[in-house]
Amino acid sequence: MTDALTLAQAAALPTPELAERIAQAVHDPAGADASNTVKTYAAALRDVARWAAEAAVPSLPMAARDLARYVDDRAAAGRAPATVSLYVTAVGRAHRDVGLPSPADDRVVKLALRRMRRQAAEGGHRQRQAVPMRVEHIDAALAGLGDSLGDLRDAALVTLAFDTLLRSAELVALRAGDVQPQGRDAIVRVGKTKTDQDASRGDVRFVSRATYARVARWIAAAGLAPDAPLFPSLSRRGQGDRMAPRDVARVFDRRMPGHGFTGHSSRVGAAVSQREAGIPTGLIAQAGAWASDAMVSRYTRAIDAQESGAAILARRQGRS
């Protein structure tokens, strides 16, 4: 194990070195952790380090009462509960990975987190959800696309994102050979995902026949070898390396402007659309490789409310 990385040191380190040191500190010398997770933890540790310096308290080891104060201060400043909770998790992990007890496990910290969530709920705070992307949005975008390489790539990207419910980082990690015909439709074999970091489950997602036709047309036009990135960057100089995850949101916004879509919109929209079609929550969770039904329910709660007991009663009584 590397020497302990203190949170105060983390705040002063440049980003590349910080990411490398954090990867080592979490027993990941080969960089096996998802890069986005490492970056998020780096941001968390820097934020906690700044707070600790201002409060003149030790950051590693950090006392549980100080971490609870951090939660209270960030909540009072209007930070999202989900962000603060994630940052507390990062602090706990940093302690455990250098052999120290985690202050995040202490009751006083858990009470602070619970208090923060309750106050946020009472104040009307809700975690922002990505705007759902619908089939009609995609169809309108496809109608305006032509035969250029950029248009073919983006048509394949948008439709594959919706069919597979893959996250942006998972989409851009695909290779051309990962998409394969299967019966009347196709499948995509996914490597590492957020919930399957070592690809031990061999995740496979459904791809519709129409989407596969667009993907195949793009691969042929671009001359992609099976091991080439499925979605490379494009410029006047030709094809570059694989797209960055943030580029997925840029494609969505460029092809479907005015909706405020993010890189998560296709995943949310597919889940919502499936629920509207009457597909059971368990099958939606399977389609999106969610570890539990709870996340699906978060996305579909507005639709589920329309099928609640109160809604059914109102319709039967002619009040709705």
Together in a domain, 17 and 106: yes
Whole-angstrom distance, CA of residue 233 vs CA of residue 242:
6
Residues 120-172: tens digit of each pLDDT: 877 665 556 788 999 999 999 999 999 999 999 999 999 999 999 999 989 99
pLDDT tens figures, 166-199: 999 899 999 999 999 999 999 999 975 445 444 4
d(CA 56, CA 66): 10
The answer to whether position 283 is within a domain reads no
Q: pLDDT tens digits, residue range 30-62?
A: 344 456 667 778 888 888 988 888 788 888 889
pLDDT grade for 284, boundaries at 50, 70 and 90: very high
Per the prediction, the chain carries an average pLDDT of 83
Please indicate, yes or no, if residue 179 is contained in any of the structural domains. Answer: yes
Q: Does 160 lie in the same domain as 183?
A: yes
Residue 141 lies in domain: 136-261
> Quick one: how far is CA 93 from the chain centroid?
20
In-domain check, residue 58? yes
Instruction: Find the mean pLDDT for residues 94-116.
Output: 91
At 242, which CATH number?
1.10.443.10
pLDDT recorded at residue 301: 80
- Residue 150 CB burial class (10 angstroms; 0-12, 13-18, ≥19): middle
How many distinct structural domains can be found in the chain? 2
CA distance readout (Å), 52 to 9, 45, 65: 12, 10, 12
Q: Which of 21-30, 102-111, 263-272 has the lowest mean pLDDT?
A: 21-30
| Residue 230: inside a domain | yes
24 pLDDT band (50/70/90 cuts)? Answer: low
| Residue 131 counted as domain residue | no
Give the predicted TM-score (pTM) of the model: 0.62
Q: Which CATH number does the domain housing residue 78 bear? A: 1.10.150.130
pLDDT at residue number 31: 45
- The more confident residue out of 65 and 124 is 65
C-alpha 36/C-alpha 26 separation (Å) is 14
Do 249 and 218 sit in the same domain of this protein?
yes
Does any domain span residue 155?
A: yes
What is the C-alpha to C-alpha distance for residues 70 and 76, in angstroms, rounded to an integer?
10
